[in-house]
Amino acid sequence: MDAPKHVSVLLQECIDNLKIKPDGIYLDGTLGLGGHSYEIASRLTTGRLVCVDRDETAIARAGRRLAPFAGRVTLVHGNFADAAAILDSLGIDGADGMLFDLGVSSPQLDEASRGFSYRQDAPLDMRMDGSAQLTAYEVVNTWSAEKLNRILWDYGEERYARRITAGIVNAREKAPIASTMALVEIIKAALPAAALREKQHPAKRSFQAIRIAVNDELGAIAAMMESAPDKLKPGGRLCVISFHSLEDRIVKAGIAARENGCTCPREAPVCTCGFVRTLRSVSRKPILPGEEERERNPRARSAKLRVAERV
């Protein structure tokens, strides 16, 4: 199967900020279709690149793309939340750079059978890792109204969360909600006319919320920010691309905790809380795509790149 058309977000900005050394060790924790990995691997000579993805289909496709660099690339089926443990399992003590692109990959969005799309009919699935147990079907059909409302409100930032939750609960009492389009119709029916006229698809926020819940995406980001930076060598770079405020908030807080985590009073002459600074923000504000990239790739419009360096 040929790889779908794919444009890597903030590609040059990532490569520039990783400051790749030909003999360095790097980790791409969200391999996807391998666009970022290809550019990293092409700059290595005696170095090594570890590529991680929870989607086995992505690993197979990207593996073909990265075949010219097979001697310097290691492919791992796993969760980026476990990046530090994965490096340990490979006997790697420290990395010179790590990249995490937190967006959903193009095939996951575009291939109807994956169940991520609110524009094409498919079974309710949304698993990034096909071997995982939890699916969107289970979330929609078995989670309590309270839990559904919470994820729609918190993860989707959906202001009509209660109305949508009520619509889902009423519908599933009659018959299981089995497909993406069935869910879309329920969401549409729950929304007021004004919401249906908005430019954004009426099901976008709800689908985002359910996808995040199915894959525990926010938990994975928090776990990654907690442990992965410890595997960076001094001077090593951490690059994280996020696509919505929930993700960016966790990344920003994770960097800040390692950069400014001292809890001593400002007037204290010396630190006594035991805080040790381990990261330094390379830029205070996130790096955003330029106008040309936003025009060329609409999916890049909401992207934010945060870069930190191990100290």
Q: Name which of 82, 85, 97, 80 is nearest 41 in CA terms.
A: 97
What integer pLDDT is reported at residue 3 of this predicted model?
A: 44
Q: Which residue has the higher pLDDT, 6 or 196?
A: 196
User: Per-residue pLDDT averaged across 268-295, rounded?
Assistant: 93
pTM value is 0.93
User: Rounded distance, CA 13 to CA 92, Å?
Assistant: 26
Share of the chain above pLDDT 70, in %: 98
Supply angle C-alpha 80, 136, 142, rounded to 5.
125
The most confident of the ranges 46-50, 242-246, 265-269 is: 46-50
pLDDT of 110 over the 80 cut: no
Cα separation, 290 vs 10, whole angstroms: 9
Helix (H) or strand (E) holding 307: strand 304-310
The pLDDT of residue 105: 77
Q: In Å, what is the CA distance from 250 to each residue of 218, 225, 228, 243?
A: 8, 8, 14, 12
Interstrand relation of 48-53 and 73-77 (parallel, antiparallel or unpaired): parallel
How much is the average pLDDT of 258-280?
Answer: 91
Hey, is 293 helix, strand or coil?
helix
Q: What confidence score (pLDDT) does residue 6 get?
A: 61
User: For residue 88, what pLDDT band results from cuts at 50, 70 and 90?
Assistant: very high
Average pLDDT, the chain: 95
Q: Which pLDDT score, from 0 to 100, does residue 113 have?
A: 87
Tens of pLDDT, residue by residue over 160-207, are: 999 999 999 999 999 999 999 999 999 999 999 999 999 999 999 999
User: What radius of gyration, in Å, describes the C-alpha atoms of the chain?
Assistant: 21
Distance CA 251, CA 232 (A): 16
Closest alpha carbon to 128 in 115, 118, 139, 119: 115
Q: What is the pLDDT of residue 5?
A: 53
Name the DSSP letter for residue 71: G
List pLDDT tens digits, range 149-159.
999 999 999 99
Query: DSSP letters of 201-226?
Result: -TTHHHHHHHHHHHHTHHHHHHHHHH
Percent of the chain with pLDDT over 90: 88
Number of residues written out for the chain: 311
Burial of 38 (0-12, 13-18, 19+ CB in 10 A): buried
Confidence at residue 167, expressed as pLDDT on a 0 to 100 scale:
98
Give the three-state DSSP class for 33. Answer: coil
CA angle 207, 289, 233 (to 5 degrees): 95
Query: What pLDDT band is residue 117 in, cutting at 50, 70 and 90?
Result: very high
